[in-house]
Structure 1
Amino acid sequence: MRNRKIGFLLLSGLMIGPILGSGIIILPPAVYETAGNYAIFAWVLMLGLSLIFALLFGKLSLLIPGDSGVPLAVERAFGTQIKNLSAIFFLLAVCFGPIAVTGTAGHYLQLLTNQSFFNEKWLALGILCFVYIILTRSIADVGKFAFFMSSFIVVTLIVGSIHTLFTVDGSFTLSKPITISDFGESLLLLFWALIGWEVIGSYSLEVKTPERTIPRAVVLSFTIIAIVSLIVAFAFQWIHSKNGNMMNQSLAPLLQSLFGSWATPIISSITIALCISTVLLVIGAVSRLIADQAKNGLLPSWLSFKNKNNVATRSLFSLFCIHIIVFILYFNDLLSIQTLVAIANAFFLCNALLGVLACFRLFDSVFFKISSFILAICFLGILLFSSPIILLLIILVSVYFIWLQKRDSKQHEKILQVGNE
C-alpha cells in the first residue's frame, strides 16, 4: 500500500485555514463592537489560551497516536465506553457542520459570481462534492491543496492589513473605559476561535517522524494564526476607532487601500477558501475515526477498508450519504444554517471538553493540569449557551454511556476477583 506521509509544512497548511476558519472574518467586527479598542487585549488573552490548547493536543497526539484522535486519549483516561461517547460527539458534529459551512461558501460563491442560474444551495452542493473528490486523493495531495489555500488566505490578509495600517488615517486610544461584563462578553465570543486544534491527533499516523513533525507544525501554525489574528484585529480597530463608524462590519475595508474595487471579491474568495479548508480537515478526520472504529469492531468491518492512497473510501462514501440527507433537509428549509451551526458547535464542544478532561487526567505536569481545568470550565460554560433540546440530548447520551462504563468496570472487577480467588 502506497502511503505518502506529510511533513510539518503540509500539516501546518492543513491546520491553519480551518483553525482560522470563518472566525477571522466574523470575529474582528463582533469583538470590536463589544469591547471597543480593548478588543485587541481580548485577542491577546485568547491567543494565549489557544497556544495552551494547541500544545495540549499536540502533546496528546504524540502520547496516544492513532486515526481516532481525541477518542483514543479519552479511552486511556476514562475507558472504552467514554471513548465511544467522544467518537459519537465528533461524528454527530461532522454530520451537521459541513453542510452549514458549505452553505456559507455557496452564499459567498453566488455573490462572487453574481449569477442567478444556480442558487446558492446548488452551489453549496457543488462545493461539497468538490471537497469529497479532493479527499479521495492521498494525504500529501490534500495537504498541498490545503497549503495553497492557507497561503492565499494568510498572505492576502496580512499584506492587506499591513498596507491599511501604513496608508489609512486611523487611531488607537484607550480613553473610554470598559466594563468587566463587556470584556467578558468579548472573551466569550473569542472562545469559539479555540476549536480546531483537537483534530491534530486524527492525522498523527499520516506524518513523517511525528515526534518532530507535530510539535514543529503546531508552533508554525500557531505563530501564523496569531500573527494573522492580531494584525487583522488591530487593522480593523485602526480604521474604525477614529470616527467610531461601525456601519461596515465587513473586512473588505482592510483590503480596499491595496486592492480597491477588488476588495469585496477577494474577501468572498477568502471566505470560500476558509470554508473549504475547514470541511476538508473535519471530514478527513472523521473518515479516519470511522475506519478506526470499524477496525476495532465497533462499526461494520467493511468500513475499515482503505485504498492504495491510504484513504478510507468506504467511510467517506458513508459520510457523503449522510451529508446528502442533511443537505436535502437544508435544501427544503427544514434545517437552517443557524440550526446546523448550533447543533455542530454543541457536539464539537463536547468532544473538545472530553479531550481536555482526558488531558487533565493523563498529564502529570501541574501546568497542563491547571490549563486543562481552566479550558474545561470555559468549554462547559460556553456549552450551557446551547439549545435546551440539544443539551437534553447531550445529557441523555452522556448518562447512558457513563452507565455503560460503570457497568463494564464492575464486570471487570468481578472477573479480577474470580481470578484472584
Structure 2
Amino acid sequence: MSINLNTKKLNTFTLSGLIIGPILGSGIILLPPLIYNMVGSFSLVIWGTILILGFIFALIFGKLAILFPGEGGVSLATKEAMGKKYQLLTSFYLICAVFFGPVAVLIIAAKFIQNLFPDVSIELLAFFIYIITYLFLRSKVNFIGKIMLIVSSTITILFLLSSIVVLSNVETYTFSLPTLSFNEFGYALLVVFWSIVGWEVIGNYSKEVEDTKTLTKSIIFSATIISIVYIFLTLAITLGEFPKDEEFKLVWLIEPLFGRYASFILAVISVILCIGTLILFVGAVSRLVASLKLTSYTSAHSSNNVPVGALNVLSSLYIITLFLVYLDYITLDELVAYSDAFFIANALIGLVTAIILFEKGFLRTASIALSLVFFSILIFSNIIILSVIFILFILVFLKK
C-alpha cells in the first residue's frame, strides 16, 4: 500500500498517526506506573480487561462513524436512533468531559517538564503548552496527521524497544497476584478507562478521510498497535527487575537505553504525547460544537476548514479552568475523575445507539455487554458528578 502524503484527506497511515499518538497520549506515561503502584501485579489483569474492552469499543464506534459520517461524529447516529434531544445530551456529556480532560492533560505535561523550568508555575507552563497546541489546531488536519504519524511511530518504537530490553535482561521471571477487593478492582478500572478514551471522537473526523475503508483499517491497525504497546509496557513494569520497596517511576523503563538522558527524553515524549492527545480531543469536540450550529460564531470555519469559532470558545474555557487550578479550587485528580465520568456517560449513550441501530450480530451483543460493564465502572465515580450526569439525563428525558 502506498502512502500519498500530498492528499488533502487523511489516508490510513495519517489517520492512524492522528489516532495512535493521541490515544496513547497522557495515558501511556501516567497510567501504567500509577496502576502498578495501586494494585501491583494485578495490573496485568486490569490491563488485559480494559484492552479487550477498548478494542471492541473501537470497532463499535468505528462502525457508527461509517454509518453516519460528519463533524457531529457518533452524535449523528444518536440523533437517528433516539432523536435530537439525545444527540444534544451525548454532545453535552462529551463537551463536559473535554471541559475537564484537556486541562488535566496540560497539567500532566507541565509536571514532566517542570524540572526544566523550575521558576515557572505548573499552570503557566500548561498555558504555554496549550498555545503551541492551539497553533497546531489552526493547521490543516492532514498536516497534523502527517506530523503525528512520524511522532506516533517514533514513540511507539521507543517504548516497545525499552520494554523488550527490560524483559530480555530479567534473569528469573517471578509473578504472583495480590489479593484485591471488589472496590479496588472497580476503582482501578475507572482510572484505567482513561487509556481507551478517544475512540468515541474518531467519528468527528470522518469527513476528513478518503473513504470508509480508510476509517475501518485505521481503527483496527491503531487498536492493535496501542494494545501491543500497553501489553509490553505492563509486562516490563510487572516482571522487570526494578526496586520493589518504592513507587515505580516510568523513567526507569527507558534508562537501560538512554542512561542519564532518560529523564530529558521522557519529558520531551510526555509533552509531545500530551499535545497529540489535545489535538485529537479538542479538534474533535470543536467540530462537534460547530456541527450543533448553536450560534453563527461557534459554527464558523476558517479558510482551511478549521472550526475556529468553537475552538476559540473551548480555548477560553480551558484558560478559565487552568486559573481555577491555579487558585486550588480544583485538583488534577478531580479533573481526571470528572472527565472520565462524563466520557463514560457519553460512551453509554453511544452504546445504546449501537444496540438500537445494529442488527443481530457480534457488535450488537458486544454493545449490550459493554453497556453493562461501563455502567458498572461509572458507579465508582464522584457522587457530585454522577448527580450532574443524572440530572442532565432527567431534564432531557422530560423535555418534549
TM-score by length of 1: 0.87
Greater shift in the superposed pair: 338-347 or 370-379: 338-347
**Structure 1 position 110, deviation (Å):** 1.4
In structure 2, what is the Cα distance between the partners aligned to 1:166 and 1:190? 27
Aligned pairs for 1:20-419 (under 5 A) are 20-33=24-37, 36-111=40-115, 113=116, 115-174=117-176, 178=179, 181=182, 187-209=189-211, 211-240=212-241, 245-294=244-293, 299-404=294-399, 407=400
> 2-side partners of 1:259 and 1:387: how far apart?
40
Query: Compared with structure 1, are the counterparts of its residues 218 and 98 closer, same or farther at alpha carbon in structure 2 (3 Å cutoff)?
Result: same
Worse-superposed segment, 319-328 or 101-110: 319-328
Which region of structure 1 is more displaced relative to structure 2, 179-188 or 363-372? 179-188
Deviation at 1:268, TM superposition (A): 2.3
Measure how far apart 1:244 and its partner are: 7.4
Is the Cα contact below 8 Å between 1:77 and 1:358 reproduced in 2?
Answer: yes
Q: CA deviation at 1:41?
A: 4.2
- Structure 1, unmatched stretches of 5+, are 408-421
What CA deviation, in whole Å up to 9, does each residue of 1:266-310 have, x standing for no partner? 22222222211111111000110111111xxxx112322222211
Report if the CA contact (8 A) 1:34-1:183 is conserved.
Answer: no
Contiguous gaps of at least 5 residues in structure 2: 1-6
Say if 2:163 and 2:232, in contact at 8 Å, map to a contact too: yes
Structure 1 partner of 2:3: none
Contact 1:34 1:185 survives alignment (8 Å):
no
Structure 1 residues 238, 291: closer, same or farther in 2, change over 3 A?
A: same
Corresponding letter in the other structure for 2:261: W
Closer, same or farther in 2 for the Cα pair 1:170/1:136, shift >3 Å? farther
Residues of 2 paired with 1:367 and 1:311: CA distance? 36
How far has the Cα of 1:152 moved from its partner? Answer: 2.9
Do the aligned partners of residues 189 and 88 (structure 1) sit closer, same or farther apart at CA in structure 2, a change above 3 Å counting? closer
Alpha-carbon distance in structure 2 between the residues aligned to 1:45 and 1:337: 25
CA pair 33-90 structure 1, distance change in 2 beyond 3 A = same
Aligned in 2, Cα 1:48/1:116: closer, same or farther, shift over 3 Å? closer
Q: Secondary structure at the match of 1:360?
A: helix
116-125 vs 195-204, greater mean Cα deviation: 116-125
Query: For 2:327 and 2:42, how far apart are their aligned partners in 1?
Result: 43
Normalization by structure 2: what TM-score? 0.92
Displacement after TM superposition at 1:198 (Å): 0.7
Shift of 1:168: 4.2
Conserved? CA contact 1:172–1:237, under 8 Å: no
Between the two proteins, the alignment pairs up a number of residues equal to 394
d(CA) in 2 for partners of 1:217 and 1:21? 17
Offset, 1:86: 0.7
How many Å apart are 1:148 and its aligned residue?
2.8
18-27 or 200-209, which deviates more: 18-27
One-letter amino acid of the counterpart of residue 304, structure 1: S
Paired with 1:179 and 1:54, the residues of 2 have a C-alpha distance of 28
Amino acid across the alignment from 1:196: G
Give the equivalent residue in structure 1 for 2:15.
11
Inter-CA distance 266–168: structure 2 relative to 1 (3 Å threshold):
farther
Which amino acid is 1:10 matched to? T
Alpha-carbon separation, structure 2, partners of 1:178 and 1:333:
36
* Percent identity of paired positions between Structure 1 and Structure 2: 37
- Report the secondary structure of 1:205's partner residue: helix
Structure 2 CA distance for partners of 1:346 and 1:36, relative to 1, 3 Å: closer
- Give the alignment's Cα RMSD to 1 decimal: 2.3
1:129 Cα deviation after fit: 1.0
Give the aligned residue type for 2:149. F
- Tell me how far apart the structure 2 counterparts of residues 359 and 264 of structure 1 sit (CA, whole Å): 44
Alignment check: 8 A CA contact 1:25 1:250 kept: no
Q: What is the DSSP-based 3-state SS (H/G/I as helix, E as strand, rest coil) of the residue aligned with 2:240?
A: helix
What is the alpha-carbon distance in structure 1 between the residues aligned to residue 104 and residue 172 of structure 2? 36
Q: Distance in 1 between matches of 2:174 and 2:31?
A: 19
Contact 2:173 2:239 in 1 (8 A): yes
After TM superposition, give the deviation of residue 311 of structure 1 in Å.
0.6
Distance 1:124 1:95 in 2: 15
Cα separation, partners in 2 of 1:119 and 1:59, compared to 1, 3 Å: same
1:184 offset after TM fit, Å? Answer: 6.2
Question: How far, CA to CA, are the matches of 2:192 and 2:297 in structure 1?
Answer: 41
Q: Is the 8 A contact 1:167 1:257 kept in 2?
A: no
Instruction: Write the distance in 2 (CA, Å) between the matches of 1:320 and 1:184.
Output: 33
| Separation of aligned partners in 2, 1:353 and 1:276 | 27
Determine which structure has more spread, i.e. the larger CA radius of gyration.
1
Distance 1:178 1:44 in 2: 17
Q: Distance in 2 between matches of 1:301 and 1:17?
A: 33
Closer/same/farther in 2, CA of residues 118 and 187 from structure 1, 3 Å limit: closer
- 1:216 positional shift: 0.9
Shift of 1:145: 2.4
Other structure's SS at 2:297 match = helix
- In the TM superposition, residue 333 of structure 1 has moved relative to its aligned partner by 2.1
Whole-Å separation in 2 of the counterparts to 1:280 and 1:67: 15
